[in-house]
Amino acid sequence: MNQYLGLLGGSLLAGALCLWGNLRELRRRRLLDDTPTSKALGVFIGLAELKGTAEAAQPLTSPLAERTCVQYAGSVEESWSKTVTESYTDDQGKSQTRTTRESGWTTVAESEASIPFYLKDDTGMILIRPTGAQLDNDVFLSEIVDRGSPIYYAKGPADSIPNSDYKRRFVERGLPHQATLFVIGPARERADVVAAEIAADPGAPLFLISTRGEDKVKSAMGGWAWLWGMLGLGVASAPLILTAAGNGPKVPDGFRILEVIPPVLFAVSWCLGWLWMVYNSIIGLRQRVLQGWSLIDVQLKRRHDLIPRIAASVSALGTHEQEVQTGLAGLRAQLSATAPGQAGPDFAGVAVTVRAIVERYPQLTAQGGFSSLQKELVETEQRVALARSYYNDIATQFATRLEVVPDRWVAAIRGLKAEPLLQAADFERAAVRLDQA
């Protein structure tokens, strides 16, 4: 009977562990589905997903494969085998001896290093600190060699381990320099400059750096979720399967009903866990929609504070007063039309005005302050546009979740509703004319 109860308890424990693995992979995959891909210039604070190339001024060189990279981890293992003679007592209580052959691999050298690097796309670069990330990197080297290979001693230690077979296994993986990477992780403000960076955060749901594309990463997560689910159902049903095959422990017939408990409990727990996972993911998605809206406010406030500085810089030049002041009046007019916190697209007309003034009066570009402010304005407008694009992407994903089955039924528990998308108004795109009196 104790053996039977132990079998039931083991199937329950193993099923619970498999259930945890299944829900974990499902949650991670949903997180990828719900996170839009951002541009490097448009990354602010919070979870961000990016694609770009790994760039570093002084990249690493891996010691085994000698690949230029930004991260590597390698090991050298040596094979060994030996004959062991041991004593034992047989079923009749007599002392006996037997000879067995043991073998294995022993790690004789290890190497690992990583450096902060920049992820570059068509808008700019963002700093990535890979320490603490889950790495899905490339295989640089995977080879088993004997002493006749030039790398046996050149890349491994000169001494051999006891009982060596004189075979070594060289394995090295890493993130190649200038390789295309997929990154999802927490963004935060850098301590040295006003910019964002991606770095490990204990409270972040995911920090992953992969040399594979997003589709392959999601496919792998889905495969692991399916595997954990099938394995969990199998181990939970093990007592029932063994009894049906006639291999189960001998117990009174009245206890056979207990064999149904592990698979039923696994199925019920999976349904409850799935509801919990879906509900939390929808709430998390809604919070990121609200965060996306606040990011637009931040960028509009930044632009609101920047335009008066540009206007003051232009006015201070005191040349070509009439036409410069005409353009300046246009800048102020657009400033008054965009109060801090107002939702809407960026004022492309502001950049048009500044460019027109520079074209008419090239000497303005000689003023370092003006050139710097002009560049900052262009970058600010790009940030506003990217913040609006991110908000619309995340709001669209949230709205989709609220419409598809069965997510809409889970969302109905909280009464969640879709957030409106931002729309562009014609007057917000109008350029300022410079020929006004």
CA distance 239 to 299: 61
Instruction: Say if CB 421 and CB 392 are below 8 A apart.
Output: yes
Q: Is 175 helix (H, G, I), strand (E, B) or coil?
A: strand
Please list the residues that pair with 60 across neighbouring strands: 69
How much is the pLDDT for 114?
96
How much is the pLDDT for 436?
39
Query: Which of 412, 428, 432 lies closest to 323 in space, CA to CA?
Result: 432
How much is the pLDDT for 151?
93
CA distance 370 to 311: 10
DSSP tag of 70: E
pTM for this entry: 0.72
How much is the pLDDT for 343?
45
Backbone angles phi, psi at 424, to 5 degrees: -90, 130
How much is the pLDDT for 399?
83
Query: Which of 310, 316, 280, 301 lies closest to 373 in space, CA to CA?
Result: 310
Domain ranges of the chain: 49-211, 280-429
How much is the pLDDT for 432?
39
Intervals of the chain under pLDDT 50? 318, 320-321, 339-347, 366, 425-437
Radius of gyration of the chain (CA): 32
How much is the pLDDT for 398?
82
Q: What is the CATH number of domain 280-429?
A: 1.20.1440.20
